[in-house]
A and B are shown apart, each in its own frame.
Chain A
Amino acid sequence: MVTLEHYLVLSALLFALGIAGVMLRRNLIVILMSLELMMNAVNLSFVAFSRYLGSIEGQIFVLFVMVVAAAEVAVGLAIAVAVFKQRGTININDISLLKW
């Protein structure tokens, strides 16, 4: 029997992996991918709650999360391409212009 806890633990592990990716990797594209991973982890717990609470709201919220994720990826990758055109690198250690 698969309980809600199983899904929540899986979701937490995926989220932690996404966090680790954001903290460890220096490649802008991989960092964007890790953000996607975190959003997917949250989606998983939304759908699991929707199933175990018997309410459809979780699945509707997942749709909105997907909209936000798609918009974020489109703009983020456009920024990555623009930065690469200007700087010739996507290593975030070299793109620290706005860093105080």
Chain B
Amino acid sequence: METILFYVLAVVTLLSAVFVIFLRRPIHNVLFMILTMIGLATLFILLHAEFIAMVQIIVYAGAVMVLFLFVIMLLNLEEIDLPREPRPLRWGFGVILSLALVVMLFPVFKSIAPIITGVSQNGDLAAASNLDLIAKELFTTYLLPFEIASFLLLAAIIGTVVIGRKLTKS
């Protein structure tokens, strides 16, 4: 059952990722990106990472993709001419390069995967909810990175406002 579910989700996620890359209209790209995010969130649930899955749906499918949609509608990309897509030569080149990346990655998996066999039966993680475990780690061991992350978000907010404001002669 789990195997079937994994393959179905993997196919859905990969297909919608392909559509994200190869469809021409940005609005279709965004919609298929949302499908990819939801597929990944279900994969996270399959991996017993429910909290991450919910954050994935709320932050990515909810906030980030809505931001993309807003910008696409703001720029009205359907009206202006869409950017010219590159020549077939460059398409072939890009596809070959990314396939080469996959081929280079596979030996790494071959060396990693045999070491780790089967799901770890760690008592903490096997518990019903990993949310309190995440919270405990996040606010003790990883407290400093957590604070730095909040600073990063603050910097991003200020940067966005500064970049996005209307230029006025001061």
A56-B137, A66-B59, A91-B83 as given contacts; A51 in contact with B33, CB under 8 Å: no
Size of A's binding interface in residues, CB under 8 A: 74
Cα distance, A27 to B22, chains bound together (Å): 12
Contact in complex: B26, A82 (CB < 8 Å): no
CB distance from A26 to the nearest CB of B (A): 4
Contact in complex: A71, B112 (CB < 8 Å): no
Selected contact of B14 from candidates A13, A23, A66, A82, CB within 8 Å: A13
Cα distance, A1 to B113, chains bound together (Å): 14
Contact in complex: A37, B101 (CB < 8 Å): no
A62-B52, A67-B152, A89-B83 as given contacts; A82 in contact with B125, CB under 8 Å: no
Q: List 30 A-B contacts (CB under 8 A).
A: A1-B2, A2-B2, A6-B10, A12-B102, A12-B109, A15-B101, A18-B17, A23-B98, A29-B26, A29-B77, A33-B30, A33-B68, A34-B20, A36-B33, A36-B60, A37-B17, A44-B43, A50-B47, A51-B125, A54-B124, A56-B137, A59-B52, A59-B130, A63-B55, A64-B145, A66-B56, A73-B67, A77-B68, A91-B83, A91-B84
Interface residues of B (CB under 8 A from A): 2-3, 6, 10, 13-14, 17-18, 20-21, 26, 29-30, 33, 36-37, 40, 43-44, 46-49, 51-52, 55-56, 59-60, 63-64, 67-68, 71-72, 74-75, 77, 80, 82-86, 90-91, 93-95, 97-99, 101-102, 105-106, 109, 112-113, 116-122, 124-125, 130, 133-134, 137-138, 142, 145, 149, 152-153, 155-157, 159-160, 163-164
